[in-house]
Amino acid sequence: MGVLNHSIIFNLFLVLFTALSIGFDVAQRRIPNWLNFAGMAGGLLFSAGLGASQFYGSLLGLAAGLGLQLIPFSFGWVGAGDVKLFGAIGAIFGLSWIPRLFVYSALLGGIVALISLAFTEELQYRLFKRKLMIPYGVAIGLAGLVAFYLDPQGKWAGV
């Protein structure tokens, strides 16, 4: 596969995977396993097409993405789908992108939380009587798009 074709297919895959992840998280407050595993497999396959070094970076990105989200998951701050989504994004971008993705997902997570609060009916009831579910997968997906399309060199994130 030529570099141009690889780039076009990668961009289509990235946008489609991210849009589906965000759509499911907003609509159902969950990200299906089949989608996360497809993202992981796609990231590994795309990187394998670029050589062994890229593949290993992608594999390490998958492991680091999963590992980084296990702590928030253990405290109940994020769901299992969010952990797997961050792993899939790590597989798609590779290990060197993990710090940048983490910074952007944290910043965008705050914005998503504020928007969720603003659009939540019976805000006081939800804040004090029930657990408010924030679609953190939206922040993770947007972090990948922002990092790749708006800050490919990592200058904004400082990493």
Q: What is the pLDDT of residues 106-159, one digit of tens each?
A: 999 999 988 887 776 655 555 566 666 788 999 999 999 999 999 888 787 666
Say how far apart CA 9 and CA 26 lie, in whole Å. 26
pLDDT tens by residue, 34-90? 999 999 999 999 999 999 999 999 999 999 999 999 999 999 889 999 999 999 999
Domain regions of the chain by residue span: 3-150
User: What's the maximum distance between 2 C-alpha atoms anywhere in the chain?
Assistant: 56
